[in-house]
Structure 1
Amino acid sequence: MHTPRRVRELGITVGTLPTGPLNAITDVPGVRVGQTTLTGDGVNTGVTAIVPDGYAGMLPAAIAVGNGYGKLVGSTQVDELGVIETPILLTGTLSTFRVADAFLTWLLERDPAATSLNPIVGETNDGHLSDIRRRPITPAHVHAALNSATPALPAEGCAGAGTGTCALGFKAGIGTSSRLLHQGTVGVLVQANFSGVLTVLGRQVPAEPIDQDGNSCMIVVATDLPLDSRQLGRLARRAIFAMSRVGSDYAPGSGDYAIAFTTTRNPTYADRDLRTPFQAVTESVEEALLNSLTMAQTTTGHQNHTAHAVPHNRIQNLT
C-alpha cells in the first residue's frame, strides 16, 4: 500500500496561478471543513461538512447542474433566492435524507426562533464499496462532522463523504485545492465518484472501468471575492467544465453538481474581470480531482469489491 501524496508532491503542477498556503478550500478566510469517516463490516462512507462563517446571515450562492441524476437537498431555494443560509454537507446517496434530518436538528438547536431553514445536502453513490442500503449515518455522525469543522487542511482521499467513492477506474474520494488572486482567494472541495479515463495534464492513464454509469461528482467552490449570485453561477458552471480536464465522460448516470458561494455580501465585481476567477476555478477543480485520487488508498468493501489506488509511478512517469 503506497503512502498517499498530493499531486504536487508527485511533481505534477496544474495551471499557472499560485495556490493558497494550504492549497485547500480552507484557504478562503472564514471557511472550515469537518468530516466523519465510517469504515468496517462492509461500510465505507461518511459525512463532509463545509462550514462558512456567517452562513446564518445568508451568503450569496449559486448551483450549477451538469447532469441532474442525483439528490441535492435544498437546491431549489438556492436557485430562487441566490443565497445559502446553512453549511453544506456531503454524504452517500441513500444517507442523504437521514443526514438532512440530523442536520436540521443541529441547525434548530442553534436558532431557537427558526421556523424555516434550508439545509443543503449533496451526495454521490458509494454503493460499490459500502453497503449503501444500511444507511449507517446517524445524527451523532452528522453533528460530529459539523462540530469538528476547522480551517486546517481537510483530509483527502478515503475520508468523510469520499470514504467509499471511486473515479476514472480508481479509488478516489475527497480532494481540495485553491488559487490566490490579487483580490482574494478561490478554493474548491470535491467528492469524486465518476467514470471516464483518467487524464493527467492531457495524457491518459487507462484503467478497467469500475462503474460505467458514472455515479456523480459534487463540487463546492468557495471564495471571498465580492461576486453576486449570477456571477457565482458562472463560476459553478466552469467547475463542472473542469471535470473534462481529468477525463470525465459525463455518463448518463452521473449526477454532476457545483455549488459556489462567497463569504463577502456586497457584490462589486465587474463581469469583465471574471477571466482570472474562471481560471482559478478550473485549475483548482482539476487539481482537487487529481488529489482525490492520489491521496486515496486501495479499499476493499461491500461484497469484497475492491477499488485500487492509482499507482503513483504511472503518474510520475508521464512527466
Structure 2
Amino acid sequence: MSADQRRARDYVDFDGAPGTWNAITDVPGVEVGYTTLIDGDGPLVPGTGPVRTGVTGILPLGRERVGTSVAAGMFSFNGNGELTGSHWIEETGSLALPITITNTHAVGPVHRGVLEWSLARNPALQQGWHLPVVGETFDGYLNDINGRHVREESAMAALDAAASGPLVEGSVGGGTGMNCYGFKGGTGTSSRRVAIGEDSYVVGVLTQANFGARHELTIRGRHLGPQLLDDNPMEDAARSAPPGSGSCITVVATDAPLLPLQCKALARRVSLGLARTGTTGSHFSGDVFLAFSTANPGALDSGIGAAPAGIRRLDFLPWPTINPLYSAVVQATEEAVVNALVAADTMIGRDGHRSPGFANDVLSG
C-alpha cells in the first residue's frame, strides 16, 4: 500500500476491530497479488484499446502450498456472473488452487494461466486434473473488453506478485476498470479480529466492487446517494443495462476451523454487508461470493495421482459459536466496499467514458 493511500477509516468509523493491515492478508498464510493493465486513450479500437483491466490473484495458503486443499463454500446472491470451479466446491467443499478475479471476457486466459502457474509451482499437480477458480465482473464501460488484453501471462504475473502485508485498493488488479454506485470502484479489502471463547481468529474480505446505482448509496447509515446525483456519466450515457447493473465478486478468508457448510454460511453473509452500502441486488448484477478456511490444510484433499487412503478428520467450531464470524463478514464487507470507493480516483477510458472518483470529503460532513 502506498503511503498516501486513502482508506475509509480516514473519514468514518466502522464496527469491529480490524487486523494489522485491515486486509484479507491479515489471515495468516493468505497472499494477494495484482496485474494492472492501463494503456491508451481516445476512441475504442477493438484489439488495441484503450485498456483498463487486470487480474487479482489470491493464494489461500501462500505460494508454498499450492495444491493443498482448504475447506470452502460459495453462495450466489444473483447469478448473472461466473465463478469457475464452483460446482466442484459445492460437491466437495474444498479448493486447492489459487483464486483469481478479472473481467468478464478474460475468464478463459486467466483460467489457463492459473493452471500453468500452478503446474509449474507444484510439479506433483501434473498427475491430476484441476478446476481453477476464476471470478469476473464487467469493465466494458471503460475497457476494450473484447480486445484480449488479459492473457495467460497476466494471471501468472498476478500470482507471482502475491504477498502478505498491506494491499493497494481501488483501480488495481481485476478491479482496474470497475465502477461502484456510479463512481469509480474496484478492489477493496478489510478484516476483523474475532474472539470465540478463549481463542482468537481473523476474518478477511476482498471484494471486486462493480455494482450499485448512485441513488442507492448508503455509507454508515447515511443515505448519501440522493445528495450525489450530479456528475453521473454512466447513468447519463446510453447504455443497454439499467442503473445498478454490474457485478460483485467477494472472497472471504478466515483461520477459524470450519466445515465447508460453515464456509458457505459465511459467504451468504456477504449479502448483508453489501446491503449496508445500499444495494438491493440488480437483476443484471452477478453477485457471487466464496469463503474458505485455512485451518485443516489438506484434510479435504481429493488425491493427486493416487487416491488418498485412511480416515481424515477436521477440527471445527460448533455451529452455535460462530455468530461472531458472521458479524465479522458483514462488517468487513461493508468497509471493503467503501475502501474501494475511497481509494479510486477518476478514470477516463474508452471513447472518453469517465468514471468519477468518489467525493471523500462528503464522508466528513
Q: TM-score, normalised to structure 1's length?
A: 0.95
Aligned counterparts of 2:32 and 2:202: Cα–Cα separation in 1: 16
Where do 1:95-134 residues align within 5 Å? 95-112=106-123, 113-134=126-147
- Alignment of 1:203 with 2:222, yes or no, is yes
SS in 1 for 2:246: coil
Contact 1:189/1:221 (8 A) holds in 2: yes
- 2:254 corresponds in structure 1 to 223
Contact 2:67/2:118 (8 A) holds in 1: no
SS in 2 for 1:231: helix
Aligned counterparts of 1:224 and 1:58: Cα–Cα separation in 2: 14
| Displacement of 1:4 | 4.9
Aligned counterparts of 2:98 and 2:74: Cα–Cα separation in 1: 14
Q: TM-score, normalised to structure 2's length?
A: 0.83
- 2:238 corresponds in structure 1 to none
- Alignment of 1:256 with 2:287, yes or no, is yes
| Displacement of 1:111 | 3.6
- Seen in structure 2, the aligned counterparts of structure 1 residues 14 and 139 have a Cα distance that, compared at 3 Å, is same
Aligned counterparts of 1:240 and 1:223: Cα–Cα separation in 2: 17
Q: Return 5+ residue gaps in structure 2 as ranges.
A: 41-49, 236-241, 297-313
- 1:285 corresponds in structure 2 to 333
Where do 1:148-227 residues align within 5 Å? 148-182=161-195, 183-196=200-213, 197-206=216-225, 207=229, 208=232, 210=235, 212=243, 214-227=245-258
- Alignment of 1:234 with 2:258, yes or no, is no
Aligned counterparts of 2:357 and 2:335: Cα–Cα separation in 1: 17
| Displacement of 1:174 | 0.3
Contact 1:240/1:257 (8 A) holds in 2: no
- 1:69 corresponds in structure 2 to 80
| Displacement of 1:20 | 0.2
Q: How many residues are aligned here?
A: 313
Aligned counterparts of 2:108 and 2:13: Cα–Cα separation in 1: 38
- 1:78 corresponds in structure 2 to 89
The one of 71, 86, 89 equivalent to 1:60 is 71
CA offsets, 1:232-286, max 9 Å, x none?
A: 1110000122111001131001000110001001332011111110100000000
Stretches of 4+ aligned residues off by more than 4 angstroms? none
Contact 1:35/1:148 (8 A) holds in 2: yes
- 2:301 corresponds in structure 1 to none
Letter matched to residue 268 of structure 1? F
Structure 1 or 2, whichever has the larger Rg, is 2
- Seen in structure 2, the aligned counterparts of structure 1 residues 200 and 213 have a Cα distance that, compared at 3 Å, is closer
Root mean square deviation, CA, Å: 1.3
SS in 1 for 2:146: helix
| Displacement of 1:139 | 2.0
**What percentage of residue pairs aligned between the two structures are identical?**
38
Aligned counterparts of 2:23 and 2:5: Cα–Cα separation in 1: 16
Aligned counterparts of 2:277 and 2:315: Cα–Cα separation in 1: 32
Contact 1:205/1:315 (8 A) holds in 2: no
- Alignment of 1:5 with 2:6, yes or no, is yes
Contact 2:257/2:316 (8 A) holds in 1: yes
| Displacement of 1:213 | 5.0
SS in 1 for 2:324: helix
CA offsets, 1:201-251, max 9 Å, x none?
A: 111222336452511000000000001100111100001221110011310
- Alignment of 1:27 with 2:26, yes or no, is yes
